[in-house]
Chains A and B, each alone.
Chain A
Amino acid sequence: MGEDSVSGPAELLSVRGAKKVFRLGGILSGTEIIAVNQISFSLLRNTPDIFSIIGESGSGKTTLARMILRLLLPDAGTIELNGKDVHSIRGRQAILRYMRNVQPIFQNPFETFNPLDRVDQFLNETARNYYRGESKQQARERVELALNAVGLSLSEVGGRYPHELSGGQLQRASIARAIIPGPSILVADEPVSMVDASLRMSIVNLFQDLKNQLGTSIIYITHDLATAYYISDRIAIIHKGYFVEQGDTGQILTVPRHPYTKLLVESALDPKPGGTSLADSEAVAKGDEEYLATGCKFAARCPHVMDLCRRKAPPPVTVAGRQVRCFLYGGNDAREGDH
């Protein structure tokens, strides 16, 4: 409401240099894993956008999502909503205002709802808590509207328990719950990975409708490149805490530049008989130990690795209309580091 900010009034969500460190192991010994490192991106206020974040498990994407949702505190950097720092929000009313604007959609719809509660219970709660002073009837109407917007109705869903609905229906109910407060941003963490492949499109289409008809921006976190291509305009590829490539979806997925992006695009199965070569890829997936590498975290399995990559982490450079962190495209000022 007329909050002018230092970051510029045009930005709805602004993430700058976000960083999160986890310590594993005991107090005396123990390793540090930087789960999220120097992440920056923004969503503009008047242009609703579907921003996809592509990453495999262990890449830091869920940590990032939880920081935006205020479930985790960043160790460095800022996350601002409408110019106000998200993590300095205090007090129930202010927190409610924040949650009115930013709502989550979790991966597993069966975990999102309490198995012992009827599905509409959470929807009713949401309507109640964000629209105090309205009558029960008005609240029910809001719930019905939200359900209709996702292709469901109270007659279908009301009075039923989560296990009585299919995964696809339940995930849509979860989306309905999230849009009741009229959020400007939905943070969807792998919303379709637990849903059957044939049902994913209905949910993904729904996201597109929400953007076009309600003006909601969506941060769509997934490892499914095809659906990301389908609905998002901008995309960021996250690997071990860094955005390794960031920019326009169409360009990045059709002509990937970063070696990791290339690996992902190659690995995505083409739904055509024999569409994807299954010959064993050279790069064997590694686990958390990649986090401990100095320099570029992808160096251990990069086909174009250079000596420099193992020593320094590549800074972002702009190439072909996108940002890439890879020494193949520049960024290796010989200032530090000797060969």
Chain B
Amino acid sequence: MRKAFSGLWKTSGYFRFGIVSISFAVLMFVLSFFSPYKPMESFVVPANLPPSLAHLFGTTSRGQDLFWQMTVALRNSLLFGAVTAALSRVIAIWVGMYAGYRGGLIDKAMMAVNDSFIILPVLPILLLVQFLVREKMNWFYMASMLALLGWPYDARLIRAQVLSLKERIFSETAVFCGMPTGRIIIKEHLPYVMPIIFATTINNFLWSIGLEVTLSILGLTNINNASIGVVIFWANQHQALISGTWWWLAAPVGITVFVFAGLYLLAVALNEYIDPRTRLSMKAVAA
């Protein structure tokens, strides 16, 4: 593990960037619990102050310390993304692998359902739901909704991998070794499926945060619950760009870009590392 980490750190710029970004995110996450202010309480500090040592990201027009607000906002956004990613993984992996292994009519039926979900237009549906049930919508329900919309592409990817794995000769050898199907799936096939699961997890994570930000900017989520999108919403409400309080927009946007880019590049670096082909060439070198 340590060797893998140090190897990756030394060789992959993406990895370094990603680790820095993650460290930053984790730091913010932890700090959020120490915030001296309640996140959405207003007028607790002087308003419209630019970034300074006292207020690292400046203050907002509503008299909030932007730095501490961002720690909570980032935390909430990350949690949101994590919930969506986790839930949709469960569905995608189950559907993809079951359909892939079963084949036949069950596979066809499941893929028909899968494809119906793919064509659902996500944003309009979310907008609709938001309009209808805004009061009762809390972020967990919204994360679940996104999970229900975000699994089909990945399920197909996983299924494709499973289909190809079934055809490989070593799968037949495994049968002749007397291995039961479940054991073949876990021991022989999972190492090939893992990179896909991993890559799609991060994608899904980022996608859901992105959607949440979109909806919040439009004011369609609970705007009293701090999240990155909500911060931007309020900044727009107070016309931050025009009135000169640029830090109010710069902080959430900058942090989002930094964390997104970092996570994405981390995924790329790790994915290349986990990819069976790279591992093979590494083993070749080590031999």
Which residues of A are in contact with B by a Cβ distance under 8 Å?
69, 71, 92, 96, 99, 103-104, 106, 108, 111-117, 122, 125-126, 128-130, 161, 163-164, 174, 177-178, 181
Q: In residues 74-120 of chain B, which contact A (Cβ within 8 Å)?
A: none
Of B170, B175, B180, B276, the most chain A CB neighbours within 10 A belong to B170
10 residue pairs of the A-B complex, CB under 8 angstroms, read A92-B180, A99-B178, A103-B176, A112-B169, A115-B280, A116-B276, A117-B187, A122-B170, A126-B178, A161-B283
Which residues of B are in contact with A by a Cβ distance under 8 Å?
168-170, 172-180, 187-188, 191-192, 276, 279-280, 283-284, 287
Residue numbers in B under 8 Å from A92 (CB-CB): 180
Residue numbers in B under 8 Å from A96 (CB-CB): 178
The CA of A115 and the CA of B168, in the complex, are separated in Å by: 11
The CA of A104 and the CA of B171, in the complex, are separated in Å by: 13
Residue numbers in A under 8 Å from B177 (CB-CB): 122, 125-126, 129, 177
Contact of A111 among B168, B174, B284 (CB under 8 A): B168
Number of A-B residue pairs, CB cutoff 8 Å, is: 66
Residue numbers in A under 8 Å from B176 (CB-CB): 69, 99, 103-104, 126, 178
The CA of A104 and the CA of B170, in the complex, are separated in Å by: 11
Contact of A125 among B168, B178, B192, B287 (CB under 8 A): B178
- A129 close to B287 (CB less than 8 A): no
- A117 close to B178 (CB less than 8 A): no
- A104 close to B172 (CB less than 8 A): yes
- B172 close to A122 (CB less than 8 A): no
The CA of A163 and the CA of B276, in the complex, are separated in Å by: 13
Question: Which DSSP category, helix, strand, loop or mixed, fits chain B's interface?
Answer: helix
- B280 close to A106 (CB less than 8 A): no
Residue numbers in B under 8 Å from A177 (CB-CB): 173, 177
Of B177, B191, B276, the most chain A CB neighbours within 10 A belong to B177
Contact of A113 among B170, B180, B284 (CB under 8 A): B170
Residue numbers in B under 8 Å from A164 (CB-CB): 283-284, 287
Shortest distance between the CB of A71 and any CB in chain B (Å): 7
The CA of A111 and the CA of B192, in the complex, are separated in Å by: 15
Shortest distance between the CB of B27 and any CB in chain A (Å): 36
Other 15 A-B pairs with CB < 8 A, given A111-B170, A125-B177: A71-B172, A103-B176, A106-B172, A112-B173, A116-B191, A116-B192, A116-B280, A126-B177, A128-B178, A129-B178, A129-B179, A161-B280, A161-B287, A163-B280, A163-B283
The CA of A122 and the CA of B188, in the complex, are separated in Å by: 10
